[in-house]
Amino acid sequence: MSYPQRSTGGMAAHPEMSEIRERLERTAASNGAIVIEGLLVLAGVYAAISPWVLHFSAAEPNITVNNLIVGITVGLIGLGLTTAPEAMFRLAWVVAPLGVWLLISPWVVTATHGARAGIIWNNCVVGAVTMLLGLAAMGLTIGVTRRAPR
């Protein structure tokens, strides 16, 4: 009984992989991608430090930890997209749901006693900006994969 031969090269040996890599590098080096990645880093840093900027860190420890973790995550994804776009471009799809989470987290995390208006406004604005930047980053990745030759 003969078994089919398995390729040991994986996707790296794919004949169109070099063209896909070149297209990804061109997209990642475009001005739009650089702006989106930089704004993602800034949005993540602001989300992480916002509890201390708006002074709700002591009053709301749960939302403070939430913003810190989500902000660091968004910032690291933005930094990863900037430094290693080939390895990180699929992770751009995670940013939009994180933005939605930032948007709804004041009601979910502080459900027992409710959040103050400043916390709600802060997270709604930062969440909406993060979600829009995530959608823009997703659009860049869609452009890379759709333009790939068949």
* Structural contact between residues 45 and 145, judged by C-beta atoms closer than 8 angstroms: no
User: How much is the mean pLDDT over the chain?
Assistant: 81
Residues 6 or more apart from 11 whose CB is under 8 A from it?
17
DSSP-assigned letter for residue 147? S
Other Cβ atoms less than 10 A from the Cβ of 102: the count is: 27
Cα distance between the two ends of the chain: 34
DSSP-assigned letter for residue 31? H
Assess whether pLDDT exceeds 60 at residue 99.
yes
pLDDT reported for residue 10: 60
> Could you give phi then psi for residue 64, rounded to 5 degrees?
-65, -50
Assess whether pLDDT exceeds 70 at residue 81.
yes
C-alpha neighbours within 13 Å on the C-beta side of residue 93? 3
Distance CA 47, CA 44 (A): 5
| Closest listed residue to residue 63, CA positions, set 73, 52, 74 | 52
| Prediction pTM value | 0.74
Residue 71's Cβ-count burial label (10 Å; 0-12, 13-18, 19+) is buried
> At 140, is the pLDDT very low, low, confident or very high (cuts 50, 70, 90)?
confident
pLDDT tens-digit profile of 16-67? Answer: 666 655 655 555 556 778 899 899 999 999 999 999 998 887 778 889 999 9
DSSP-assigned letter for residue 113? T
